[in-house]
Every structure is written in structure tokens, then in C-alpha cells.
Structure 1
Amino acid sequence: MERTASFQGRAVTSAGSAERLLEQTDPAIYHGQGMTCVWRATTVACRKAKLALGLPDDDTPDEVECRSSCANLAYTDRDIEDAQRRRERHWADAADPLAPKPRRDRAAAQAAQLSGIIDRHHLQGVPDAGERTA
């Protein structure tokens, strides 16, 4: 049985949306550790957080102020592979009987958070690494 991936993009359904997209000829894409930021100043959460604090705006992502709820975040297959490696380290830390309980609890919470990101990525129709085609 042949497998196909579902369309992962967005459909442009109005002339206004098409015009806006055509004006953005050079998207600002920043690859961070475990996530990718598709920079749009009007919707990016780290910029809003900086402005709310009265900090200067430099029109580039600020990983320190990055918010997991940001609409500009995208997770590529490379990002998910990094998240899977980090999740395994957190699960190992959570199971360490010599670590203090607060540290184990935090590691378990971080692993669970990463599991949610990974699960959402795979539920969107992205094939597993063994299923990818060239």
C-alpha cells in the first residue's frame, strides 16, 4: 500500500491574502535549536514581549523571549529529531533515583511538553523518519 502525505501548507482563498503573500518575497526564516522561526514582526510573540517590557526591538527572533504559543514557530523534521533526543534525556533524568525529586519532576514535565510537540507534529501527517521518501 502506497502512503501519501497530506498537504501541510495553507490555501490562499482571497485576493488580499495573495497580495500580502506576494509582497513578502524574502521570508525571514531563523533556524534555532529545536525550532524554526518564520519571522513576521506583526505576529511574533518574542517581539511583543520585548516591547511590553520597554526593551528595544531589533527585528530578529530573541530565543530568550520565545513563547511556545507563538504563531511564527514551525517545527521541521530536523527540529523534531532534536526534540526527540532532548525528550529521551529528560526521561532518563526523570528516572534517575539519585536525583532530587524536584529535579525528577521538572525533567518529567519537560519530557511531557516535548512529547506534546512531537505528537502534534506527527498528527499533522508528517511521516516518520523511516517512511520518508527522497
Structure 2
Amino acid sequence: MERTASFEGRVVTSAGSAERLLEQTDPAIYHGQGMTCVRRAATAACRLAKLALGLPDDDAPDESECRSACANLAYTDRDIEDVQRRRERHRADAVDPLAPRPRRDRAAAQAAQLSGIIDRHQIQGVPDAGERIA
């Protein structure tokens, strides 16, 4: 009996997306901690931040200049697992009775922000039970 792994990626569903992907010779995908950068120089927030400061442009993402609102960020299922672990640490910090109030408030805000990322991923990334992945 032959064993196969299930496909855990995404399906390109529009002609425009397929054409855009085919036009790119190198998709420039960079896996970071808790996120993946699918870098396009024109929309890279890290590149735009560096140019605004008069710094030289690089061909790779700069994690020190990464912005959470960047259009190039993508969250894979692997990334979401890391985000979930971070959220649980923040939730624990938010209820730590020995931590000062500002630290608990910040941890609660960070947990809420990570919950939003997880919720958006689950809404956008999970195919319907009847959807066929080819």
C-alpha cells in the first residue's frame, strides 16, 4: 500500500493570482519566526522604511525593520503554531499577580493582537470541508 501526505498548502483560485505568480522568476520567500515574508520590493515595508531613512536598499527582508502591517507578510500553519505559543505566554503574563499592572496590561494587549492574527488566518486559510484541493 502506497502512503502519501496530504497537501497542506494553499490553492491559487484566481487567474490574476496565477499570472502574477508565473511572472515572477524568483518568489523570494523568507521563513522567519512566526511569519513568512513573500517579498516583493515594491510593497516591502522594511525596504520603504530604510529608503525613508536614506539607508541603502537590500535584496532581502530586514527583520529589524519589519512592520506588522506589511503586505508581504503571510502566515503559514507552521507560523500560526508559533503565534499560538507566544499568545499563551502573553496570556499567562497578563494574569500573573506578581507582575506590575503595566506589564500585565501590555501582555493582555499583545495576546489580543496575536489572537487577531490567528482568527484571520483561520477564517481565510481553512478550506470548506467539501472544497476539493487539486
Q: 1:76 corresponds to which residue? A: 76
Q: 2:47 corresponds to which residue? A: 47
Q: 1:57 corresponds to which residue? A: 57
The amino acid across from 2:107 in the alignment is A
Q: 1:131 corresponds to which residue? A: none
Q: 1:11 corresponds to which residue? A: 14
Gaps of 5+ in 1: 1-6, 128-134
The amino acid across from 1:12 in the alignment is A
Q: 1:132 corresponds to which residue? A: none
User: How far apart are the structure 2 equivalents of 1:102 and 1:59?
Assistant: 39
Note the aligned Cα RMSD (angstroms): 2.1
1:43-78: CA deviation from partner (whole Å, max 9, x where unpaired): 111100110011111121111111111111000000
**TM-score normalised according to structure 1 size:** 0.81
User: What SS class does the counterpart of residue 37 from structure 1 fall into?
Assistant: strand
The amino acid across from 2:15 in the alignment is V
Identical aligned pairs, as a percentage? 81
Q: 1:111 corresponds to which residue? A: 111
Q: 1:130 corresponds to which residue? A: none
Work out the number of aligned pairs and report it. 119
CA 75–60 in structure 1, closer or farther in 2 if over 3 Å, else same: same
Question: Does the CA contact (< 8 Å) of 1:8 and 1:124 recur in 2?
Answer: no
Where has structure 1 moved over 2 Å in runs of 4 or more?
Answer: 7-10, 20-23
